[in-house]
Amino acid sequence: DKNSDIRITGLRAARRYKQDVIPYVSQLVKDPSPQVRRECAIALHHNKSPEASALWVTLADQYDGKDRWYLEALGIGMDEQEQKFLTAWLKQAGDHWNTPVGRDLIWRSKIPLAVPYLVKIIEDPKTDLDTLPRYFRALDFIPGTEKNRAVAELALMKEPQNKKRETYIIAEAISRMPANTVMQDAKYKQALTQVIDSSRGTSEFIKLVQKFKASDYYPELVEIASRAGKSQTSVDAIRAALSLKQNTLIRKSLENKADTEKEQNQKLDLIWALGSAGHNSANGILLKLITDQDEPLVDRREAVRAIAKSRSGAHALLDLAEKKDFDPQLQQTVAAAMSSTIMKDVKERSARLYPAPPTKDNKPLPPINVLASIKGDKLDGRVMFNTKGTCAKCHVVNGMGKEVGPNLSEIGKKLSREALFESILFPSAGISHNFESYTVILASGNVVNGLLVNKTDDAITIRDAEAISRTFKMEDVDEIIQQKISLMPADLQKVLTQEELVNIVEYLTTLKQAEPIKKASR
């Protein structure tokens, strides 16, 4: 039939009614339609005919190296006959097997016969670094001693002209070897030390240090967790340190005083990684940090957010809240974290302690994760931002508004929808750096509240809620107190309906690029 769909249907019908499909496949094996040829490959599934392997080879020769469904059909066709079919193809290919098509067929076969070919592909300098994981994963599916010997061979590979490739290959190979084999053989032990030293700061480094319990490098795991930012690498590093029972090392790192903004951010990233690691032993470290009144408030707030990510951690946090053995300065942070949780049991328990804040119409708001899923009206949100929401009284957007709080001209690319709702509903849950509120008590008895603009040995400048900056001589100041709550009101939602609140956040998400400020013409 001229219609390829009819030809496919006919082939499927032959299989369905258990007819001998070989004559049909022989007739269609060079069909111009790749869809028909894919169906032919599938029709050879578990077919024991002597002609099956030759037909499969003919179909494989027409694979273009791009059609992943064609490759999958070839894989289905050779199931349980991989040795027979691949041997036939390799015999025909001869020395010309190492092509994109040949590599795909060998990768897909996952049999011991493929092992020496996979090794040659991995060792081939022309094999791109970013494709190597694919071939190592293929080795993982192949059982037997031949695979183990191949991995051991790769662990000693040398490629001086491309040290990055060499390091990756040795790391991947040696990580697949039994630890006792490596540690009892001088040449493998030397290769391990070499690759650990060469891969510092990478995922390979973390994997090797953890597997081989390379204790000399344990401090570097904690260092990576604090210096890799909020990333998969930092989470993997701290999870490895926790698995290796390096809690004391982690606590020591957290106890170090952060003297610079960079060090403070690294400390916060380490706390974040602890919460993201999904390791139960992180809870004890985080709880100690949360309950230690001598620790900086910013660290304790981050620890609250971190521990609330796990079910056991969230319940431990709620245990403290129920016992009222809790610093009031952390209440908003806990409430925000609980509002964002998706764990039903945690949500139900926290609702009794931290009921949702009411809106203008006195209706409780849904949890933050639910609010974040609601689509708003950005145009109405812009109006609300500048009117009922009173946001412009303290925030600048593209040159408009008062500069009391952070400039929001690019807030849409800095915070997620969830984080935007949290910042509005629980402003003291996480106060932005340089926007902490201060109280200045003057010798005259007057008290001034606001943001710290500047402080020297001679004077201090405070900007109040009206964006007015005032400077006082230090000789006129009795006391300076850093406040633990945000200058931003904690009940803004009371002047808005839920819809208006959602619209404001929708507007904020659009603020991704600051617009040039146009000077007024005279």
Q: What SS3 string covers 397-461?
A: ECCECCCCCCCCCCHHHCCCHHHHHHHHHCHHHCCCCCCCEEEEEECCCCEEEEEEEEECCCEEE
Name the nearest CA neighbour of 328 among 350, 363, 304, 364. 304
Mean pLDDT of 121-126: 94
Cβ-proximal residues to 337 (8 Å cutoff; 6+ apart), any chain: 304, 305, 308, 314, 317, 429
Which letter does DSSP use for residue 245 in this model?
T
Element holding 500 (H helix, E strand): helix 498-509
Measured from the Cβ of residue 61, the count of other Cβ atoms closer than 10 Å reads: 13
The yes-or-no verdict on residue 520 having pLDDT over 60 is no
Q: Grade residue 406 by pLDDT with cuts at 50, 70 and 90.
A: confident
- Give the pLDDT of residue 98: 95
Q: What is the pTM of this model?
A: 0.63
Q: Three-class SS string for 85-114?
A: HHHHHHHHHHHHCCCHHHHHHHHHHCCHHH
In sequence order, the 6+-apart residues with CB closer than 8 A to the CB of 22 are: 47, 49, 51, 52, 55
What is the pLDDT confidence band of residue 493, given thresholds at 50, 70 and 90? Answer: confident
Domains of the chain: 200-355 (1.25.10), 356-432+489-509 (1.10.760.10), 437-482 (2.30.30.100)
User: What does the block give as tokens for 16?
Assistant: 């369905």
Task: Note the pLDDT of residue 521.
Answer: 52
Residue-level pLDDT at 121: 96
Instruction: Quote the crossing angle between the two packed helices 132-140 and 145-154, to the nearest 10°.
Output: 150
Cα–chain center distance at 484: 31
Q: What is the 3-class SS of 144-165, one letter each residue?
A: CHHHHHHHHHHCCCCCCCCHHH
Return d(Cα 29, Cα 44) in angstroms, integer. Answer: 11
Please check the confidence at residue 519 and state whether its pLDDT lies above 70.
Answer: no
Q: List beta partners, residue 454.
A: 461
Angle at 83 between CA 81 and CA 84, to 5 degrees: 70
pLDDT digits (tens, 9 = 90+) for 209-260: 999 999 999 999 999 999 998 888 999 999 999 999 999 999 999 988 888 8
State the amino acid at position 310 in one-letter form: S
274 close to 461: Cβ distance less than 8 angstroms:
no
Residues 6+ positions from 352 with CB-CB distance below 8 Å: none
